[in-house]
């Protein structure tokens, strides 16, 4: 009896692992809202804690160490999802080795490492596997695995490209604010440049463009929370520096309007 229960439990564990990984990919890549990931968010927090501890120990090179955190988190995401899907497929295929899944030639090994290899091969979108299904149910499993592997690969590659596109836009906004403040991070300097001698006829357009860019940046960070972990040595690229300049600018504008209304 136990000989029948253990394979079923192993395969059920494989289905559960694959379901968790696919749900995490869905919530991270497709649903794309901050704080919804099942595994990825926790892995990102853990990776950030490790990098922060290493950066504190690095002393003057703290900024250089932290600048690698964002790219490393993306690599960890890809490895986590790939290994998770491979593990799930391996758990499902393991009990079937030598029975429903056999080697193309020779005797079929039945160890778990072989199952992982067969599971990973069943999800690969290129290349041929040394193992092939010999029953209809496992042929369908291999077909489903190949579709899952192809879809997951496409989604993850698209996600990485979108993250870097959003990061480029954030950096462009940071550089724009940096230049508009005369490289001083001073909101008063920004307003002085946008409205020389109090003439804001063209400055209003620039302020509207900045407001639109800030809105896009905010939404991008809701879609791709991993952006928060991308840091650069230049402080004007950081979200906090950009938001500080923007809020300081709004405060100066509101105080100026309030002052004119009070004297009016």
Q: What is the structure's pLDDT at 155?
A: 92
Q: Whole-angstrom Cα distance, residue 75 to residue 73?
A: 5
- Decide if pLDDT at 1 tops 70: no
Banded model confidence at residue 263, pLDDT cuts 50, 70, 90: very low
Query: Helix/strand/coil (H, E, C) string of the chain?
Result: CHHHHHHHHHHHHHHHHHHHHHHHHHHHHHHCCCCCCCCHHHHHHHHHHHHHHHHHHHHHHHHHHHCCHHHHHHHHHHHHHHHHHHHHHHHHHHHHECCCEEECCCCCCCCHHHHHHHHHHHHCCCCCCCEEECCHHHHHHHHHHHHHHHHHHHHHHHHHHHHHHHHHHHHHHHHHHHHHCCCCCCHHHHHHHHCHHHCCCCHHHHHHHHHHHHHHHHHHHHHCHHHHHCCCCCHHHCHHHHHHHHHHHHHHHHHHHHHHHHHC
- pTM of the complete model beyond 0.75: yes
11-61 pLDDT tens trace: 999 999 999 999 999 999 988 777 777 899 999 999 999 999 999 998 888
Banded model confidence at residue 234, pLDDT cuts 50, 70, 90: confident
177-197 pLDDT tens trace: 888 888 888 888 888 887 766
Do the Cβ atoms of 250 and 199 come closer than 8 Å?
no
Mean pLDDT of 65-84: 94
């Amino acid at each position: 009896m136990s000989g029948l229960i253990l394979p079923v439990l192993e395969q059920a564990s494989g289905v559960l692992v694959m379901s968790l990984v696919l749900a995490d990919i869905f919530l991270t890549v497709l649903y794309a809202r901050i704080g919804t990931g099942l595994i990825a968010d926790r892995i990102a927090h853990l990776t950030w804690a490790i990098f922060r501890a290493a950066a504190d120990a690095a002393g003057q090179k703290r900024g250089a160490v932290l600048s690698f955190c964002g790219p490393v988190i993306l690599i960890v995401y890809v490895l986590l999802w790939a290994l998770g899907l491979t593990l799930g497929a391996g758990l499902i295929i393991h009990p079937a080795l030598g029975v429903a899944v056999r080697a193309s030639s020779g005797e079929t090994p039945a160890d778990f490492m072989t199952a992982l290899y067969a599971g990973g091969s069943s999800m690969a979108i290129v290349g041929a596997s040394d193992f092939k299904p010999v029953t209809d149910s496992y042929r369908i499993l291999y077909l489903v695995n190949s579709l899952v592997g192809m879809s997951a690969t496409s989604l993850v590659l698209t996600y990485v490209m979108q993250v870097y596109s959003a990061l480029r836009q954030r950096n462009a906004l940071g550089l724009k604010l940096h230049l508009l403040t005369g490289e001083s991070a001073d909101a008063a300097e920004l307003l002085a440049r946008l409205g020389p001698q109090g003439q804001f006829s063209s400055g209003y357009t620039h302020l509207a463009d900045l407001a639109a860019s800030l809105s896009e940046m905010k939404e991008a960070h809701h879609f791709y929370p991993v952006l928060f972990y991308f840091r650069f040595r230049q402080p004007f690229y950081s979200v906090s520096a950009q938001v500080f300049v923007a809020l300081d600018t709004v405060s100066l504008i509101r105080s100026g309007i309030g002052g004119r209304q009070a004297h009016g």
